Chain A
Amino acid sequence: EAGVAQSPRYKIIEKRQSVAFWCNPISGHATLYWYQQILGQGPKLLIQFQNNGVVDDSQLPKDRFSAERLKGVDSTLKIQPAKLEDSAVYLCASSSFFSGPSYNEQFFGPGTRLTVL
């Protein structure tokens, strides 16, 4: 079974520029997550999709971050304009079902390391 794919793996941009990340979840996984992981910290959830609808985006800085999930499969996360503090690894994860506060294992992609200069 193919895992979660992300691209690019690395990106270096200057502040105030724009950047986009792409994620392809595991086939058949209805739930997709974007996390931000700052160096030395654990991942922080930015947004969660169920199919192509947003379930939770409470920690997404909506003035500069946006995300969409095309046809309930691939997803893109965009930052416009980027700030120095956006330097982090952006992780995409997917899981097979959404059913309230019950267990579902999240499968993570390798992440995109963003450096903002």
Chain B
Amino acid sequence: SQQGEEDPQALSIQEGENATMNCSYKTSINNLQWYRQNSGRGLVHLILIRSNEREKHSGRLRVTLDTSKKSSSLLITASRAADTASYFCATRSSYGNKLVFGAGTILRVKS
């Protein structure tokens, strides 16, 4: 079963705009990670946020985590056509080692 649920399922924006994707999960976590998957390729790790952190930045990426609401958001600023991909959140439980992925958000950045 998949723990994370991303919202929206699909997002289409113009180059230069910001893109925000949300993820909700169900159980207690140790950390939450975001991955990107380009068409026909494997997943690439983007950023990790631990359960005791509230916000994290990496380049044009900003991730927030609200453990009380069991939700996270990924913000991509100043989007580029190369950001077109599927984005997945993945959670690691506090009680085990398994990484559980959500269904993903498909982002399309139009140039």
Contact = CB atoms under 8 A, between A and B. Distances in A.
Interface of A: 4, 33, 40-45, 48, 55-56, 91, 93, 98, 100-103, 105-111
A4 B93 contact: no
B97 A45 contact: no
Contact of A105 (B4, B45, B104): B45
Contacts of A45: 98-100
- Interface size range on B against A: 20 to 34
B30 interface: yes
29 contacts: A4-B42, A40-B103, A41-B103, A42-B102, A43-B43, A44-B2, A45-B98, A45-B99, A48-B97, A55-B97, A56-B98, A91-B43, A101-B30, A101-B92, A101-B93, A101-B95, A102-B30, A103-B30, A103-B31, A103-B48, A103-B92, A105-B33, A105-B45, A106-B43, A106-B45, A107-B45, A108-B42, A108-B44, A111-B41
A48 B43 contact: no
A80 B31 CA distance: 36
A103 B32 CA distance: 9
Contacts of B2: 41-42, 44
B21 to A, nearest CB: 13
B104 A42 contact: yes
A93 B88 CA distance: 15
Interface of B: 2, 4, 30-31, 33, 35, 40-45, 48, 50, 88, 90, 92-104
A103 B93 CA distance: 11
A49 to B, nearest CB: 12
Nearest to A102: B30
A102 B31 CA distance: 8
Contacts of A111: 41-42
B95 A106 contact: no
A43 B36 CA distance: 12
